[in-house]
């Protein structure tokens, strides 16, 4: 363990005192809101209003007074008091269980995702069969809880099979219990979320459980996204006055492809520490500062590194005082920015720095550095049409970003990237339009990406974040097998019950991945009964 000097403790205690004094000056937040792009973009008009100082760049949200009205409106689309029978109310209006008392609330639902599809290019059928639940509620004014669980069976299109087969993991979800090829290309897995949230004071929230996180205002994040699996975590969120929000999170991650040293859990384990400060300079302008530390619990022989006080240090960039200086660790630094150029319209950006040397700014030497950049624009009421939401975004990450010489310390969880689904070594353009009218929801999405693949398993062109970083040198985006990806998806849904997003959904997907070695296409239609608020990614 690295020695810590007295002035470091002194600075930490001073900063902690300032934080806990400041938290007495702003308003409370309350109930947990499951993260879902389809749901969250419906709040664009509220959170990107020039009259609002809402902290938009850390998800999941906690519902506060600003978005409560819109949330209530969304949860009552199509609800009618003319439905008197118990069955009609439960199908169209209400949660299956819904208890509201003065000192506690509770709701619960059965979740179904039952879809069938056809890949017309491969001439094969697909399906998703999900049986699940969700429960949530509050106790008093300070405590809330939420849990959902899903038992899944599916048959995927070929491109999705290829990803699952290479990782042994359903992207963003869980272990694949039946590996592709064992049972006629079918897969089954379980996926659980469980969160307890407690407001210690009106401005200090502690959340613990198993969940995802997302940093940024975009559809993608180069810092921390919900593409990886749910992680066991402990998160502290502080509101400092009306304009500053601070988050510190400690998480416990695993990697099942690394050499194990014991039988506890069956996988190698590592700690993850995330800090984020979001500062609303004004209602229009905000800046954010992010850092992350990935630290293995032990080496492949089982030699544990011992406890370092910085593992529990809540101060931003505290990792630079201790464990991040160890060569086995992986440290990232990022910055976010947002400017509301018009009411309900915001420009946003992210800058990611990995293995960055400040001296290189003046020497002109930048090839040794790895970094990523995101810029985008999003908002509500496009062309003055109510509930017409939009997002346009560009992302790029240099080769070998997120990698580490010690592969257990890569910026990944169960082999999935903790940031962008493409890993690194890519450029991407995307656009999403969404329009809601009554119970009908229309969404269209288009992506174009360029990236470099590895021709062999032994090759490393910088895209796959779990491979060991190669020696420094000149790199170019698309190096390796230069590949183009074209992706388009359109969805039409009809809402049945807004309380748990029960809906009929028709979706069309086109995907083409082409390079000098192959030209893979997917043209697919799916239809079925969907429910729940969650992000299921197919655009990779």
Spatial CB neighbours of 2, under 8 Å, sequence gap ≥ 6: 308, 322, 323, 325, 326
Closest among 151, 148, 177, 149 to 164, alpha carbons compared: 177
- DSSP symbols for 378-405: EESSGGG-TTEEEEEEEEEE-TTTT--S
> CA–CA separation, 187 vs 205, rounded Å?
38
Confidence at residue 306, expressed as pLDDT on a 0 to 100 scale: 61
Has residue 244 got a pLDDT over 90?
yes
Per residue in 468-505, pLDDT (tens digit) is 987 667 889 999 999 999 999 999 999 999 999 999 99
Angle at 125 between CA 119 and CA 129, to 5 degrees: 120
**What's the predicted TM-score (pTM) here?**
0.89
> CA–CA separation, 79 vs 265, rounded Å?
46
Mean pLDDT of 218-230: 95
Confidence at residue 2, expressed as pLDDT on a 0 to 100 scale: 33
Has residue 74 got a pLDDT over 60?
yes
Tell me the two tokens of residue 503. 């809906």
Confidence at residue 27, expressed as pLDDT on a 0 to 100 scale: 41
Per residue in 438-471, pLDDT (tens digit) is 999 999 999 999 999 998 888 999 999 999 987 6
- At 163, which helix (H) or strand (E)? helix 158-167
User: Do the Cβ atoms of 392 and 379 come closer than 8 Å?
Assistant: no
Confidence at residue 9, expressed as pLDDT on a 0 to 100 scale: 36
Split at pLDDT 50, 70, 90, the class of 66 is confident
Per residue in 296-321, pLDDT (tens digit) is 887 777 777 765 666 666 665 555 44
Has residue 7 got a pLDDT over 70?
no
Closest among 210, 202, 236 to 149, alpha carbons compared: 210
Has residue 79 got a pLDDT over 50?
yes
Has residue 109 got a pLDDT over 70?
yes
Has residue 266 got a pLDDT over 80?
no
Report the mean per-residue pLDDT for the chain.
Answer: 86
Split at pLDDT 50, 70, 90, the class of 257 is confident
User: Do the Cβ atoms of 389 and 396 come closer than 8 Å?
Assistant: no
> CA–CA separation, 344 vs 337, rounded Å?
16
Mean pLDDT of 179-199: 81
Task: Give the C-alpha distances (Å, rounded to integers) separating 480 from 242, 354, 475, 483, 513.
Answer: 48, 21, 10, 9, 15
Top pLDDT among 81 and 377 is at 377
Percent of the chain with pLDDT over 70: 86
Confidence at residue 304, expressed as pLDDT on a 0 to 100 scale: 78
Closest among 395, 407, 399, 413 to 348, alpha carbons compared: 395
Has residue 13 got a pLDDT over 60?
no
User: Do the Cβ atoms of 80 and 497 come closer than 8 Å?
Assistant: no
Mean pLDDT of 197-225: 94
- Least-confidence region, from 15-19, 33-37, 93-97, 239-243: 15-19
Mean pLDDT of 241-270: 85
Per residue in 380-435, pLDDT (tens digit) is 999 999 999 999 999 999 999 999 988 999 999 998 999 999 999 999 999 999 99
User: Do the Cβ atoms of 423 and 464 come closer than 8 Å?
Assistant: yes
Mean pLDDT of 157-167: 90
């Amino acid at each position: 363990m690295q020695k810590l000097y007295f002035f470091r403790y002194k600075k930490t205690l001073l900063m902690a005192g300032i934080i806990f004094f400041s938290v007495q000056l702003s308003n409370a937040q309350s109930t947990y809101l499951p993260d879902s792009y389809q749901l969250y973009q419906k709040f664009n008009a509220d959170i990107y209003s020039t009259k609002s100082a809402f902290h938009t760049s850390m998800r999941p949200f906690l519902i506060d007074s600003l978005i409560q009205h819109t949330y209530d409106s969304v949860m009552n689309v199509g609800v009618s008091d003319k439905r008197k029978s118990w069955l009609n109310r439960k199908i169209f209006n209400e949660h299956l269980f819904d208890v509201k008392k003065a000192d506690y609330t509770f709701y619960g639902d059965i979740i179904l995702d039952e879809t069938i599809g056809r890949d017309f290019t491969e001439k094969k059928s697909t399906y998703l069969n999900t049986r699940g639940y969700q429960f949530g509620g509050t106790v008093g004014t300070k405590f809330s809880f939420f849990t959902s669980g899903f038992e899944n069976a599916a048959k995927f299109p070929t491109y999705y099979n290829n990803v699952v087969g290479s990782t042994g993991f359903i992207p963003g979800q869980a272990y694949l219990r039946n590996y592709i090829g064992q049972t006629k290309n079918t897969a089954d897995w379980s996926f659980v979320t469980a969160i307890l949230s407690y407001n210690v004071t009106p401005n200090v929230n502690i959340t613990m459980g198993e969940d995802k996180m997302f940093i940024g205002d975009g559809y993608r994040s180069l810092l921390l996204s919900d593409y990886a699996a749910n992680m066991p975590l402990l998160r502290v969120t502080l509101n400092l006055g009306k304009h500053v929000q601070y988050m510190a999170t400690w998480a416990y991650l695993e990697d099942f492809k690394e050499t194990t040293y014991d039988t506890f859990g069956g996988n190698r384990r590592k700690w993850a520490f995330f800090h984020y400060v979001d500062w609303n300079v004004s209602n229009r302008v905000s800046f954010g500062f992010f850092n992350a530390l990935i630290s293995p619990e032990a080496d492949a022989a089982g030699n544990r590194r011992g406890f370092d006080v910085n593992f529990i240090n809540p101060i931003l960039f505290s990792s630079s005082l201790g464990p991040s200086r160890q060569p086995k660790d992986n440290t990232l630094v990022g910055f976010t920015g947002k400017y509301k150029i018009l009411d309900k319209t915001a420009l946003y950006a992210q800058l990611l720095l990995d293995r960055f040397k400040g001296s290189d700014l003046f020497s002109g030497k930048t090839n040794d550095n790895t970094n990523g950049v995101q810029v985008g624009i999003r908002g509500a009421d496009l062309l003055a049409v109510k509930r017409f939401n939009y997002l346009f975004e560009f992302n790029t990450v240099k080769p070998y970003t997120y990698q580490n010489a010690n592969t257990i310390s890569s910026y990944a969880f169960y082999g999935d990237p903790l940031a962008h689904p493409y890993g690194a070594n890519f450029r991407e353009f995307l656009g999403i339009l969404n329009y809601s009218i009554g119970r009908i929801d229309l969404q269209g999405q288009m992506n174009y990406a360029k990236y470099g693949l590895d021709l062999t398993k032994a090759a490393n062109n910088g895209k796959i974040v779990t491979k060991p970083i190669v020696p420094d040198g000149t790199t170019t985006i698309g190096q390796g097998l230069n590949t183009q990806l074209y992706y388009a998806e359109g969805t039409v849904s009809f809402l049945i019950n807004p309380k748990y997003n029960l809906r009929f959904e028709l979706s069309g997907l086109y995907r083409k991945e082409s390079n000098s070695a192959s030209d893979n296409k997917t043209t697919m239609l799916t239809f079925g009964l969907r429910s729940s608020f969650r992000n299921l990614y197919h655009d990779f």
